Amino acid sequence: MDNVIRRRTLGARLARWAVYAVLVGMALFYLLPLVVMLLTSVKPLEEIRAGSLLALPQAPTLAPWVKAWSEACTGMRCEGVGGYFWNSFRIVIPAVAISTFLGALNGYALTKWRFRGADLIFALMLFGCFIPFQVVLLPMARTLGWLGLSNSTAGLVLVHVVFGIAFTTLFFRNFYVAIPNELVSAAKLDGAGFFRIFWRILLPVSAPIFVVSVIWQFTQIWNDFLFGVAFSAFETQPVTVALNNMVNTSTGVKEYNVDMAAAMIAALPTLVVYVLAGKYFVRGLTAGSVKG
């Protein structure tokens, strides 16, 4: 009997280690492009030509990072991606804040202040999540021109807010459905109004879904290229457009280390967000999945 138990225990351990080995192998394979980018970005150009992609740098240098930030060519000018990096923050921060706040209000109104046509409005907003972005480029361009926001940071913020509201409303609506309606009813009996209930009851318990919305919106807006290249002028372009211009601009010798450094710079904010808040993203997605 003891031998049977030992064999079963050993078999369970081997199975567990096999699963871990497979998962680690898949993670390493998935991270391989990132490793190649990082190694290439700290190698001199001569070493890149002479060595392999996975070879460790013999003479590590941060010169490619400095050049990518401040000196590399983007389009017709050579000034690096630094300025465009801050352009992206000027777009992302207000767009994320506004779309998240409006999504929270919409989700609150659609679940706790029921009115005629609420389901239809939610269905139409949900339908907006599935409209291809390419379809609305021309109507949106005409709208921005009519508003006087063409080729401006404010115009890009407006575009991302409009397209983000559908997703944030979906997040908050599904989260607020799980909150008991009795809390809102009791507050109404005490004389609390629309915004007081929102600030005093709904917002204090909304931290998990706010994290989900912020991470989702931040990632989508920061990585956007289509709207950035379509609705911005040269001085208002986000970092993704500047990165594309740098990689596809030929000024003689192709500097792969500078290109990789610029790509790493462009990816750093989203990597930091996921590393610091990734676990809260999963918790927030499941926070409203069970009612009660």
Total residues belonging to the chain = 292
Residues 128 and 165 grouped into a single domain: yes
What value does the mean pLDDT of the chain take?
A: 83
Distance CA 28, CA 101 (A): 38
Distance CA 73, CA 65 (A): 13
Q: How many domains does the chain have?
A: 2
205 in a domain, yes or no?
Answer: yes
Residues 90 and 46 grouped into a single domain: no
pLDDT at 238: 92
Residues 182 and 154 grouped into a single domain: yes
Residues 149 and 197 grouped into a single domain: yes
69 in a domain, yes or no?
Answer: no
Confidence of residue 159 (pLDDT cuts 50, 70, 90): very high
Distance CA 242, CA 103 (A): 30
154 in a domain, yes or no?
Answer: yes
More confident residue, 133 or 73: 133
Residue 247's CATH number: 1.10.3720.10
Domain final residue, candidates 13, 33, 61? 61
Candidate ranges 114-118, 173-177, 218-222, 285-289; pick with highest mean pLDDT: 218-222
Residues 54 and 101 grouped into a single domain: no
Residues 93 and 54 grouped into a single domain: no
Across 44-58, 144-158, 270-284, least confident range: 270-284
pLDDT at 282: 64
247 in a domain, yes or no?
Answer: yes
The answer on pLDDT for 77 being more than 60 is: no
21 in a domain, yes or no?
Answer: yes
Residues 249 and 225 grouped into a single domain: yes
Q: What is the pTM of this model?
A: 0.83
The answer on pLDDT for 185 being more than 80 is: yes
From the number of C-beta atoms within 10 Å of its C-beta (0-12, 13-18, 19+), residue 91 rates as buried
Residues 137 and 250 grouped into a single domain: yes
Residues 91 and 205 grouped into a single domain: yes
| Mean pLDDT to the nearest integer, 270-282 | 76
The answer on pLDDT for 117 being more than 70 is: yes
Residues 30 and 108 grouped into a single domain: no
pLDDT at 204: 87
The answer on pLDDT for 2 being more than 50 is: yes
CB 95 within 8 A of CB 102: no
| Mean pLDDT to the nearest integer, 123-138 | 83
Across 51-60, 143-152, 265-274, least confident range: 51-60
Main-chain phi, psi angles of 73, to 5 degrees: -80, 130
> For the segment 218-239, what is each residue's pLDDT rounded down to a tens digit?
999 999 999 998 888 888 889 9
pLDDT at 292: 44
Domain final residue, candidates 61, 93, 111? 61
The helix (run of H) or strand (run of E) holding residue 49 is helix 45-50
The β-bridge partners of 78 are 73
pLDDT at 223: 92
Residues 121 and 52 grouped into a single domain: no
Distance CA 137, CA 289 (A): 35
pLDDT at 6: 67
193 in a domain, yes or no?
Answer: yes
Print the domain residue range for 35.
2-61
More confident residue, 76 or 178: 178
Distance separating the N- and C-terminal Cα atoms of the chain: 46
The answer on pLDDT for 289 being more than 60 is: no
The answer on pLDDT for 175 being more than 50 is: yes
| Mean pLDDT to the nearest integer, 153-179 | 90
CB 214 within 8 A of CB 93: no
68 in a domain, yes or no?
Answer: no
More confident residue, 104 or 246: 104
66 in a domain, yes or no?
Answer: no
